[in-house]
Amino acid sequence: MTEPMLLNGQRLAAEMRGQLAAQIARVRAQGYRAPGLAVILVGDDPASAIYVRNKKRAAQEIGIEPVDAVLPQGSTTEDVLRVVDQFNQDPAIDGILVQMPLPPQIETETVLARVRPDKDVDGLTVTNLGRLTAGEEGLVPCTPKGILRLLEAYDIALAGRRAVVVGRSRLVGLPVALLLMQRQATVTVIHSRTPEPETIARQADILVVAAGKPHLVTEDWIKPGAVVIDVGIHRGDHGLLGDVDRERVWSRVGALSPVPGGVGPMTILELLDNTWTAYRRHEGLSE
């Protein structure tokens, strides 16, 4: 078999960020304000702190003004809602994201429901997920949107092909299944209660793994030549691990998105892209 292809999200995201930076610089030169992104971090999860720092840095580098609110681990739902309300009302803020996961005492549903749908740059509100389900224009969740952009950039055909999604989360599994279906793929979603998941996964031309379990997927899950998208990210003693055991699947796959350097950078890119979209809508600029 020919050598598998590595789907390089790091490089694609860098290219796209350059294009966004140029577009933002153009409108700024015409006298428009800077796009504003509010990032809400609650608690002391170390991984979340890294992602938030990376998001703010990426925003700043392309000309989006990041503003953050950092709340302590013991915050209440009401505390978070107050911050969301402030950003909802602030005309300088185009996008609001609440970093997930939230501490267990906070009602995630209630917090997400408070974010104005036109500022929901994570695409996680019921309004935006409903629009996605109906095939209407809205703001699309970042990781799924990044996965589709990565597949498109590498000319990976979806229409008529069999896609299997491992995981059914609101952040990734559910919306990526919808997007793949909209691209005419035949989609199956499997999850923790699915019997014999390997047997179903082995039918996949495109396998998207968002299970949250390090090295869950091994060669037994892979149809020879399959395109495998690894969404997992886990901090092990020897660095970052994905949900896919890269060494064990490598001889069977046709293409693989690596961890790190695959889907992660695409997630941040799509957050910036959604903020740019929200900004243009707020400023009445053409899309």
Ligand X SMILES: Nc1nc2c(c(=O)[nH]1)N[C@@H](CN(C=O)c1ccc(C(=O)N[C@@H](CCC(=O)O)C(=O)O)cc1)CN2
CA distances from 153 to 9, 128, 150, 157 (A): 10, 25, 5, 10
Which residues lie across from 162 on neighbouring strands? 186
- Minimum distance between the CB of residue 241 and ligand X, rounded to whole angstroms? 11
Segment contacting ligand X by CB under 6 A, of 93-101, 128-136, 191-199, 245-253:
93-101
Residue nearest ligand X, Cβ-based: 264
Q: Does 233 belong to an annotated binding site?
A: yes
User: Binding site annotation covers 262?
Assistant: no
The distance of closest approach from Cβ of residue 235 to ligand X in the complex, given in angstroms and rounded to an integer, is 7
99 DSSP assignment: P
> What is the residue type of 71?
L
CB contact at 8 A, 104 and 88: no
119 flagged as catalytic: no
Q: Of the ranges 147-155, 175-183, 189-197, 260-268, which one interacts with ligand X (CB under 6 A)?
A: 260-268
Q: Quote the CA–CA distance of 86 and 222 in Å, as a whole number.
A: 48
**Is residue 212 a contact point for ligand X (CB under 6 A)?**
no
The interaxial angle of helices 9-29 and 142-153, nearest 10 deg, is: 110
Positions in 215-254 near ligand X (CB under 6 A): 233, 240
Binding site annotation covers 193? Answer: no
Catalytic residue among 56, 94, 99, 273: 99
- Catalytic residue at 145? no
Residue whose C-alpha is closest to residue 228's, from 135, 136, 166, 143: 166
Residue type, 131: R
Among residues 5, 21, 81, 100, the one that binds ligand X under rule CB under 6 A: 100
Report how far apart the first and last C-alpha atoms of the chain are (Å, whole number): 43
Is 19 noted as a catalytic residue in this protein? no
* Catalytic positions: 55, 99, 122
- Binding residues (CB under 6 A) for ligand X: these are 50-51, 97-100, 122, 142-143, 171, 233, 240, 259-261, 264-265, 267-268
Binding site feature residues for NADP(+): 167-169, 233
